[in-house]
Structure 1
Amino acid sequence: MNTKEYISSGILELYVAGSLSEKENEEVYAAIIANPELLTEVISIESAIVKLTAAAKKDIPYSFNAIKSQLDIETSKVIPISKPKTNWAQYSGWAAAILIGSMLVWSVTQNNNLKEQIATEKEQLEEQIDKASNSLAEAEKLITVFRDKDIISVPLAGQAVSPNSYAKVYWDKKTNAIYLDAKGLPEPPKGKVYQVWSLKLSPLTPTSLGTIDTFTADNNKIFTINNANESEAFGITLEPEGGSESPTLEQLYTLGAVAATP
């Protein structure tokens, strides 16, 4: 059906009142999102209900002077009148209007809360899917890198300060990058960070490749680091936050030499 037929069908009023089934509610919601005219109509219906309820709750300004002024009654003239009868039908109508209006306002409020909840849950789900997709893409990329026959694998063994520590460097010379698997390192103490070094052995010349500032937050403990050096070895030291200009050898956690190519 077209937009006018949809509006005249009365389904939007039932939607606002919360009288539709869950499936019908979802279908109408989808139609409203897709059609601005339907959204405008729903807003108009909700506004009319709120105004109706507010009007029904107002006190009716009856007073003897107001009635006398409208009927032009002379105060000196006594007119016999019969005992007024209570207009129960009128009062019942007002009561019904207030009751129905209140129920509709409650339904509108619940419906709006449901819309907000659905929107929030949808946003959270999309965020989770996006994170999962990014994690999967990153994992697939790492698997490809680790299986590349041209990647140089350099195991880093624990040193005197932490004999049980270990790490591994995967060096891709084509892209001047290393992939550091630091899962074997303990959590650094507060105020300290791990710093990665590229080493030339003759003479011993260290070059900083930067600090691992996200070590604690990263669950996988795999870090991508730029390395354009002709590295002969790699080492990892524990340094103060911000890093050091030269490695603190007393805090050398892991060290490993690049195997000579035949």
Structure 2
Amino acid sequence: METKQYIESGILELYVYGVLTEAESLEVAAMAEKYLEVNSELVLIEKAILNLSSSFSPFISSDQFDKIKSKLELKHKVITLQTKSNSSSYIGWAASLLLLVGVGYQYFQLDDTKQQVTIVEQEITKLKTSVIYLEIKNQSTKEILAVVRDEDNKIIPLGGQTVAPKAKAKIYWNQKTDKVYVDASGLPEPPEGKVYQIWSLKLAPQLTPTSIGLLVDFKGNDAKVFAVDKTSGAEAFGITLEPAGGSKGPTMEQLYTLGKV
């Protein structure tokens, strides 16, 4: 092997670092004794390590640093470090660059995979939400049909009053169970801060209103069919528009619909 190829193989650096086997170290020592170029290169490497150690000396003990420095200086005279450029250096830099690019590529691939997993999870969540919504809507539809088709339910139509002549509603009242449902699809959407309140009315000997519930979440109820409190002995039903939370008594000026049993 030519001395140039031997020097560029990187074995001299490994020798200086002390990581070669005993046989390999003896071989390097023999080459250094035989060839001046090899010996000179070893001096340069040791000098470079000595200078590098000096720059990092604050991180090791002074005794340890002095021992390393004295061992290297005993073997060779101190000479000026010359700039060395060989193929092994380029190979080292190229390998480091390729490693960096590879790690970066893997990072971006992993990040892209994580984003795709997140998107899939979001789609699954949306799908589950849609399924739950459809199940609730289907159940609500079944309940509404059961109310409408129940022959025990008495249907009381409620007509519009002065404040809302075009308003209308229906009461489904089961006089056996006292359950009451309100079909409010004929009522306009209540203004912000207002709510419809349902009243069970007794007309004689005097008008006696009893609140049987509020039509809460009016906008969110697509079918506009609401279950309210049970009542018995009602002679009429009315719906008024009240402040959010309802009122103790009906606001007659805001009576939207009224109907006798």
- With structure 1 as the length reference, what TM-score do the two structures score? 0.67
Tell me whether 170-179 or 159-168 shows the greater mean CA deviation: 170-179
Q: Deviation at 1:167?
A: 0.4
SS of the equivalent of 1:154 reads strand
* 2:212/2:231 contact within 8 Å kept: no
Q: Which amino acid aligns with 2:109?
A: S
The aligned counterpart of 2:131 is 129
Q: Deviation at 1:78?
A: 5.1
RMSD of aligned residue pairs (Cα, Å): 2.7
Q: Deviation at 1:103?
A: 0.3
Q: Which amino acid aligns with 2:106?
A: L
Q: Equivalents in 2 of 1:82, 1:113: separation in Å? A: 48
Q: Equivalents in 1 of 2:231, 2:178: separation in Å? A: 5
Residues 1-262 of structure 1: pairs in structure 2 closer than 5 A: 65-66=51-52, 69=68, 72-73=72-73, 76=77, 83-87=84-88, 88-203=90-205, 204-258=207-261
Q: Equivalents in 1 of 2:185, 2:141: separation in Å? A: 15
Percent of aligned pairs with the same amino acid: 36
Greater C-alpha Rg: 2
Q: How many residues align?
A: 197
Q: Which has the higher helix share?
A: 2
Deviations 1:89-141 (A, max 9, x none): 22221111111111001111111121122112211211121111111111012
Q: Deviation at 1:156?
A: 0.5
Q: Deviation at 1:257?
A: 1.4
Q: Which amino acid aligns with 2:162?
A: A
Gaps of 5+ in 2: 1-47, 55-67
Q: Please list every run of at least 4 consecutive aligned residues from structure 1 whose deviation after the TM superposition is greater than 3 angstroms.
A: 66-71, 73-84
Compared CA separation, residues 76 and 146, structure 1 to 2 (3 A): same
SS of the equivalent of 1:136 reads helix
Q: Equivalents in 1 of 2:222, 2:161: separation in Å? A: 24
Compared CA separation, residues 65 and 207, structure 1 to 2 (3 A): same
Q: Deviation at 1:73?
A: 4.1
Q: Deviation at 1:171?
A: 1.4
